[in-house]
Amino acid sequence: MGNVVEFFIDGENYYSMLYQQLVKAKDQILITDWWLTPEYYLKRPVSWEDSQMEKYRVDKLLGELANLGVKIFILIYKEVEVGFYHNSAHTKLTLQNMDLEHKNIKVMRHPRTIVSLWSHHEKIVVIDQAVAFIGGLDICLGRWDTQKHLLTDLPDEDGFCYHPGKDYSNDYIKGFSKVNRYTEDDLDRDTQPRMPWHDLHLMLKGDSAVDLGRHFIEYWNHAMFDKSRKVYRRQSFLRPHKAAIPLDPNRDEEKNESCTGFFSDSDQDEEEKLSPILKHQPSNNNIFKQM
């Protein structure tokens, strides 16, 4: 089938396209980040006072999509609290509270260890296992920038700016802190410059997007099993859509058509096609209570 690839230099172009693709999601969104800021605006300039801009905020957008039935799975790095500022607990709580009725947003923090010598550092978004984004930009504070890389950002008379609150940042002057209080400035905009952020991201459509969907699913299933150290019911694990699983000519058409979403009790024959980590017996535990 091949691939269609589009590159984005710096955050402004990437996040704008990400928003355009997210609003088209019909079935599923997969996200993994080193750090994810729920209150992050994908399109700018913005003002805290303008409610019309909230549709561009990650938490509001994902909440709306979840209420429409889109299932959203987010795997983020569970930081070592001493020395890191991510507050991944805030990320998880904020995003899952966006959809309390349907519970279509699942956020898993990993690893479970108190101290680790590694971190989840991939920045991937996969939409309907058909469109994927991968590159160097987390969806988090400090990453949005234009190709002008301006050092200052003073709000206009209506309160609009490009880097609201803590997003106006400079690690060389002061690191992030209390990121849940995202509306507060950490720097003096009149006297202290922001630190520009130059990075690259790309969008994929085609075989590579399908492959990234499979990669995330294996990533998610491994993290789930690693966190629990126990056996959990089959519905807790993800699997590729039918486009990512070779269809079996010896099976009837109805079963081939069902190759999408979660495992169900009738899908045991699909387990052999996926990671060995899925070879387990179902139980009644719910892993999401422990994440």
Tens of pLDDT, residue by residue, the chain (291 residues):
689 999 999 999 999 999 999 999 999 999 999 999 999 999 999 998 899 999 999 999 999 999 999 999 999 998 887 667 789 999 999 999 999 989 999 999 998 776 666 778 899 999 999 999 999 999 999 999 999 999 999 999 999 999 999 999 999 999 998 999 999 999 999 999 999 999 999 999 999 999 999 999 999 999 888 877 654 554 568 888 765 554 444 545 444 443 344 433 333 333 334 344 333 333 333 434 444
Contact 69, 102 (CB under 8 A): yes
Q: Distance (Å, rounded) from C-alpha 93 to C-alpha 186?
A: 23
Q: SS3 for 221-279, per residue?
A: HHHHHHHHCCCCCHHHCECCCHHHCCCCCCCCHHHHHCCCCECCHHHHHHHHHCCHHHC
Residue 229: the pLDDT is 63
Residue 86: the pLDDT is 83
R_g over Cα of the chain: 20
Residue 37: the pLDDT is 97
Question: What are the tokens at 80?
Answer: 């070592």
Q: Distance (Å, rounded) from C-alpha 93 to C-alpha 160?
A: 28
Question: What are the tokens at 111?
Answer: 């690893």
Closest by CA position to 109, among listed 179, 36, 182: 36
Residue 277: the pLDDT is 38
Residue by residue, DSSP assigns 51-102 as GGGGGGBHHHHHHHHHHTT-EEEEEEE---TTT----HHHHHHHHHGGGTTT
Question: What are the tokens at 217?
Answer: 């699913």
Question: What are the tokens at 281?
Answer: 């017996």
Residue 161: the pLDDT is 97
Question: What are the tokens at 86?
Answer: 């991510």
**Domains observed in the chain:** 3-204 (3.30.870.10), 230-290 (no CATH)
- Per DSSP (E only), the strands in 153-244 are 200-206
Q: Which DSSP helix (H) or strand (E) runs through 216?
A: helix 207-228
- Residues sharing a CB contact under 8 Å with residue 161, sequence separation 6 or more, in sequence order: 45, 46, 47, 153, 154, 155, 168
